[in-house]
Amino acid sequence: MAIKSSAQEQAAANNKYYRATGFSTIKAFFGNYFNFTGRSSRSEYWWVILFGAILSIVAMIGFIVAVVGSAIGLDPDTMSPAKIFGHMGIGLVIFLLLVILVALVLLVPSLALLIRRYRDAGIPWWIYLVQLLINASTNFMPKDSTVASLLSWAVSLSILILTLLPSKPLPNLPADDTGTRSDLDSRIDPNVFAAPTTSVAPQAPKAPETPKGSQASEAPEKHDDPDHPYTEG
């Protein structure tokens, strides 16, 4: 799995990793750390989401194993979350610091990736700002408010739908060295877009027509020399 785009597409998308897939998306994620003006395809976005989900699951499993291991040596009758976390000691502090550090490192490129995905789908970047404001407004509502729950679900669902939209055509995409359009799918024959040409065979010049009523040959001239009489034959 690699980057499935040409140099012309990467220049038009302002992203040298445009249409990256697989592990190439990790390089694209950090390579576009502060890129808020380019575009990112669906594959580039969702591969990063997949790797992030796997990383979160691994971290959660590690945390659960650490909590269970810390609780084994405690008295079941007096066991409580405070005692469990207290028994973990410095290990819990290190784990929390790592989680905070990773979250801070991934915050900017994650936001940039989402903005690029919006731009690639033809969605203005400020739509995400509106979504953030709506989601933040739910914090000022009662915790058991149905309206707050509906708004949170609506924001999450709208983000999901917008990131699933297909890519819009790239602007001002030049032709490659062969003169063919590089914005076409490789399965499309570029000749179908060429203007039809009609070849006309050169015509031979027409012979001048003989006017009707004219004689095919003129009569012989009369011979008037008496020394050399004219003789037909």
What's residue 172's pLDDT? Answer: 73
Which tokens belong to 132? Answer: 């953030």
Q: 89 and 132, same structural domain?
A: no
pLDDT at 33: 96
Domain membership flag for residue 99: yes
Q: Are residues 116 and 13 in the same domain?
A: yes
Asked if residue 130 and residue 73 are part of one domain, the reply reads: no
What pLDDT, on the 0 to 100 scale, is given for residue 209?
59
CB 6 within 8 A of CB 29: no
* Domain match, 65 and 156 both: no
Residues 129 and 103 in one domain: no
Q: Is residue 157 part of a domain?
A: yes
Give, in order, the Cα–Cα distances in Å from 25 to each of 4, 15, 28, 51, 230: 11, 12, 5, 9, 109
pLDDT at 127: 96
Query: Quick one: pLDDT at residue 16?
Result: 94
Residue 187 inside a domain? The answer is: no
Q: What is the pLDDT of residue 233?
A: 45
The residue among 167, 166, 44 whose CA lies nearest residue 114 is 44
pLDDT recorded at residue 187: 44
User: What is the residue-level pLDDT of the chain in tens, covering all 233 positions?
Assistant: 688 889 999 999 999 999 999 999 999 999 999 999 999 999 999 999 999 999 999 999 988 988 888 877 776 767 777 777 777 778 788 888 999 999 999 999 999 999 999 999 999 999 999 999 999 999 898 888 899 999 999 999 999 999 999 999 998 765 544 444 444 444 445 455 455 555 555 565 565 555 555 444 455 555 555 565 555 44
Looking at the structure, do residues 107 and 38 belong to the same domain, yes or no? yes
Is there a domain that residue 85 lies in?
yes
Q: Look up the domain containing 79 and give its range.
A: 7-120
Number of domains in the chain: 2
Q: Is the dihedral of CA 103, 107, 108, 114 positive or negative?
A: positive
Say if 102 falls within a structural domain: yes
Please tell me whether residues 74 and 158 are part of one structural domain. no
Is residue 13 domain-shared with residue 106, that is, in the same domain?
Answer: yes
Of 169, 201, 226, the residue at which a domain comes to its end is: 169
Q: Are 48 and 112 in contact, with CB atoms under 8 Å apart?
A: no
Same domain? 40 vs 129? no
Do both 66 and 153 map to the same domain? Answer: no
Whether residue 163 is contained in a domain is answered as yes
Residues 19 and 76 occupy one common structural domain: yes
Last residue of a domain, one of 120, 155, 178: 120
- Say which residue the tokens 């576009």 belong to: 32
Residue 93 lies in a domain: yes
Q: Does residue 91 belong to any structural domain of this protein?
A: yes
Predicted pLDDT at 226 = 57
* End position of a domain, from candidates 146, 169, 192: 169
Same domain, yes or no: 37 and 89 = yes
